[in-house]
């Protein structure tokens, strides 16, 4: 922040202008939101306006200002001069006029939970991707009026409505504005009540989502999570669901969550259960992340990255619970839970980057790595969601085993809620570790050194055995190992990933090469596995590829099969103690 801007911020604190936005979409087919900012009672010669570069909950600088166009400023009939000072910073010269109007348009044609989308069927936006921040005025209330293009379009948002004003809402401050998505259109709206609190499921898009079936299960999830934390910290909560052909995901907010899911992903039981895991995940965030959050995220810096090594807990522990909550809610049983857990362990154990990047480093580097997948990602990185989920599994099992299920990770979450979440006091990594240690009654220096800040393999069997379980590594196909993944793409068979130090890499094959043949016969993504069945470990094969349009043949010496799947299965003849531990954890007999 420049010295002039700092001086400006200091002067702003001496007065309280009125901030009012209007968002219109007169031609939704052109994907342009038309935004008008009215400032009344302004008392300084310039107005600084800054567009956030990221959205809390999605840890990547997304440069929302790139979608802004047609900026102008005026005072009454007088056009005001302005200049752009940086990629997301506009400054308007007011000429000491008290009433300022700023107009601009936002292009919105990216359907995701963290961006904006406008077309002939609806309008959806997130505050960070459409509204300016006025430095020094972040604590000022802000009104937002929506002008739908047609009378049958309605507005759904967690912001409270302004009495007597149509489609007008108020945010207590800028953080609240950023944290309150808007859905505008003819979406379905289903109201329901849980524990005396009002809830809404708003669904946009066509598909096979059945609200009558979903709502009872959503209620169960709400009840289970409310019981864990001792109540619901809101009066109303909204689930915004977008049905789409691609993209699954969610983004948490204090009083809502945005979900996007496959439009036909609700009839198949396994896909439906994955959706309920998504609901459980985003709803759990209203405690863990939105209120229990790292010190680095206690006060958001909307201009820069907000670094923390604790996303393994904020996101990873939440991922651990998104598997457990549907089990506790009776949406699926313990066998399905263990099947899902096995899939997560398989993902970890088949990612070479688990031996390269610690969970804490993955958290810290989220801004430059997790959301920027490239051909080397799996070799050099591990997701803090995934590693944090399975670290949380070990912590939970360790606490449960020591305290005969009378304590668990649930007690950690409750203590974090009481100590940090209720008053929204950010926690440090040391404070998080201290809370876990106090519940476990165990020094965790070595655990954190090895598994949070280090890259040692997670010792699953050591923690599963007291619960009558073990991890079994399997190779489904018993294929000799080549160490590359091939995908059919635009009529070609593209090599998308080559594992570090694998036979394919040692031979010189690279991601981006096009697979053509093995031993002179055509090979494709679809028949690669079948072709490898004809060989044994130690065999040398000739792999022909196009490398940057140059025909190349590499001699690849195949290695022994590698595990491709990991299964959590019961031990033979579990002891009475193991059975009791299992039942206390998963609520059933092993």
pLDDT tens-place string over residues 431-486: 999 999 999 999 999 999 999 999 999 999 999 999 999 999 987 678 999 999 99
**What is the model's pTM?**
0.95
Among residues 280, 303, 415, 286, which one has the least CA distance to residue 64? 303
pLDDT for 8 equals 56
CATH 2.60.40.3650 given to domain 3-185: yes
Q: Are 385 and 316 in contact (CB under 8 A)?
A: yes
Confidence of residue 246 (pLDDT cuts 50, 70, 90): confident
Beta strand segments in 276-324, E:
none
Confidence of residue 589 (pLDDT cuts 50, 70, 90): low
pLDDT for 48 equals 98
For the 295-467 domain, the top CATH level (class) is mainly alpha
pLDDT for 482 equals 97
Please state, in angstroms and as integers, the Cα–Cα distance from residue 100 to each residue in 17, 92, 93, 139, 327, following that order.
10, 9, 10, 19, 55
Question: Is the predicted pLDDT of residue 4 greater than 70, yes or no?
Answer: no
* DSSP type of residue 148: -
**What does pLDDT average to over the chain?**
96
The answer for residues whose C-beta is within 8 angstroms of residue 333's C-beta and 6 or more apart is 327, 588
For the 484-557 domain, the top CATH level (class) is mainly beta
Question: Is the predicted pLDDT of residue 5 greater than 80, yes or no?
Answer: no
What is the per-residue pLDDT across 177-226, written as a single tens digit (0 to 9) for each? Answer: 999 999 999 999 999 999 999 999 999 999 999 999 999 999 999 999 99
What dihedral angle (degrees, nearest 10) is formed by the CA atoms of 376, 379, 385, 386?
Answer: 140
Query: Sign of torsion, CA 45 303 176 3?
Result: negative
Give the helix, strand, coil percentages of the chain, each rounded to 5: 35, 30, 40
Among residues 204, 135, 131, which one has the least CA distance to residue 169? 131
For residues 535-555, give the mean pLDDT: 97
Question: Is the predicted pLDDT of residue 254 greater than 80, yes or no?
Answer: yes
pLDDT for 475 equals 76
Question: Is the predicted pLDDT of residue 558 greater than 70, yes or no?
Answer: yes
For residues 517-522, give the mean pLDDT: 97
pLDDT for 184 equals 98
For residues 268-290, give the mean pLDDT: 98
Query: Sign of torsion, CA 582 584 586 589?
Result: positive
Question: Is the predicted pLDDT of residue 14 greater than 90, yes or no?
Answer: no
Confidence of residue 551 (pLDDT cuts 50, 70, 90): very high
pLDDT for 10 equals 56
Question: Is the predicted pLDDT of residue 547 greater than 80, yes or no?
Answer: yes
Structure tokens at 515: 């697979």
What is the per-residue pLDDT across 409-421, written as a single tens digit (0 to 9) for each? Answer: 999 999 999 999 9
pLDDT for 345 equals 98
Question: Is the predicted pLDDT of residue 3 greater than 60, yes or no?
Answer: no
For residues 549-567, give the mean pLDDT: 96
For residues 234-243, give the mean pLDDT: 98
Q: Are 581 and 405 in contact (CB under 8 A)?
A: yes
Among residues 578, 330, 348, which one has the least CA distance to residue 456? 348
Question: Comparing 3-185 with 295-467, is the CATH topology the same?
Answer: no
pLDDT for 477 equals 72
pLDDT for 77 equals 93
Q: How far is residue 51's CA from residue 26's CA, in Å, rounded to a whole number?
A: 23
pLDDT for 2 equals 54
Confidence of residue 590 (pLDDT cuts 50, 70, 90): low
Q: In which residue are the tokens 């390269």 written? A: 356
The answer for residues whose C-beta is within 8 angstroms of residue 521's C-beta and 6 or more apart is 531
CATH superfamily for domain 188-284: Neutral Protease Domain 2 (1.10.390.10)
Q: How far is residue 397's CA from residue 577's CA, in Å, rounded to a whole number?
A: 14
Confidence of residue 129 (pLDDT cuts 50, 70, 90): very high
Give me the residue spans of the domains in the chain.
3-185, 188-284, 295-467, 484-557
């Amino acid at each position: 922040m420049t010295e002039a801007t700092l001086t400006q911020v200091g002067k702003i604190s001496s007065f309280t202008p009125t901030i009012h936005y209007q968002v219109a979409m007169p031609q939704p087919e052109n994907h342009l939101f038309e935004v008008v900012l009215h400032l009344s009672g302004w008392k300084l010669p310039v107005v600084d306006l800054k567009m956030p570069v990221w959205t809390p909950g999605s840890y990547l600088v997304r440069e929302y200002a790139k979608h802004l166009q047609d900026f102008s400023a005026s005072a009454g009939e007088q056009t005001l001069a302005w200049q752009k000072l940086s990629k997301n910073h506009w400054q308007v010269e007011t000429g000491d006029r008290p009433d300022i109007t700023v107009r601009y348009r936002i292009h919105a044609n990216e359907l995701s939970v963290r961006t904006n989308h406008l077309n002939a069927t609806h309008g959806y936006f997130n505050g960070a991707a459409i509204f300016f921040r006025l430095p020094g005025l972040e604590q000022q209330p802000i009104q937002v009026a929506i002008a739908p293009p047609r009378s049958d379009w309605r507005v759904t948002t967690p912001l409270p409505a302004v009495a007597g004003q149509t489609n007008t809402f108020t945010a207590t401050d800028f953080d609240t504005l950023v944290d309150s998505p808007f859905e505008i259109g003819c979406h379905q709206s289903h109201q329901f009540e849980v524990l005396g609190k009002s809830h809404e499921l708003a669904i946009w898009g066509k598909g096979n989502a059945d609200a009558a079936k979903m709502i009872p299960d959503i209620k169960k999830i709400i009840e289970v999570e409310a019981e864990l934390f001792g109540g619901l910290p809101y009066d109303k909560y909204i689930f915004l669901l977008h049905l789409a052909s691609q993209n699954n995901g969610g983004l948490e907010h204090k009083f809502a969550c945005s979900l996007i899911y496959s439009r036909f992903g609700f009839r198949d039981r396994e896909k439906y259960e994955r959706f309920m895991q998504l609901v459980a995940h985003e709803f759990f965030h209203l405690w863990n992340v939105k209120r229990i959050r790292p010190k680095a995220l206690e006060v958001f810096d909307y201009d820069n990255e907000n670094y923390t090594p604790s996303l393994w807990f904020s996101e990873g522990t939440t991922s651990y619970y998104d598997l457990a909550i549907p089990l506790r809610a009776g949406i699926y049983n313990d066998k399905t839970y263990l099947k899902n857990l096995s899939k997560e362990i398989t993902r970890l154990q088949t990612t070479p980057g688990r031996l390269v990047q610690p969970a804490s480093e993955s958290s810290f580097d989220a801004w430059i790595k997790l959301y920027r997948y490239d051909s080397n990602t799996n070799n050099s990185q591990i997701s803090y969601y995934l590693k944090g989920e399975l670290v949380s599994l070990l912590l939970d099992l360790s606490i449960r085993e020591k305290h005969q299920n009378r304590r668990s990770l649930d007690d950690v979450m409750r203590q974090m809620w009481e100590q940090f979440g209720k008053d929204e006091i950010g926690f440090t990594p040391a404070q998080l570790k201290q809370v876990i240690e106090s519940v476990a009654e165990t020094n965790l220096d070595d655990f954190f050194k090895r598994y949070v800040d280090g890259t040692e393999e997670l010792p699953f069997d050591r923690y599963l055995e007291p619960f009558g379980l073990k991890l079994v590594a399997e190779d489904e196909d018993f294929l000799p190992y080549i160490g590359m993944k091939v995908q059919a793409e635009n009529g070609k068979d593209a090599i998308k990933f080559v594992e570090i130090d694998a036979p394919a890499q040692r031979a010189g094959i690279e991601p981006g090469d096009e697979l053509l043949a093995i031993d002179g016969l055509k090979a494709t993504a679809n028949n690669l596995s079948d072709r490898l069945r004809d060989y044994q470990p130690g065999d040398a094969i000739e792999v022909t590829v196009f490398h940057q349009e140059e025909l190349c043949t590499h001699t690849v010496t195949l290695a022994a099969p590698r595990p491709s799947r990991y299964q959590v299965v019961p031990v033979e003849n579990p002891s009475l103690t193991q059975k009791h531990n299992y039942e206390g954890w998963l609520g059933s007999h092993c």
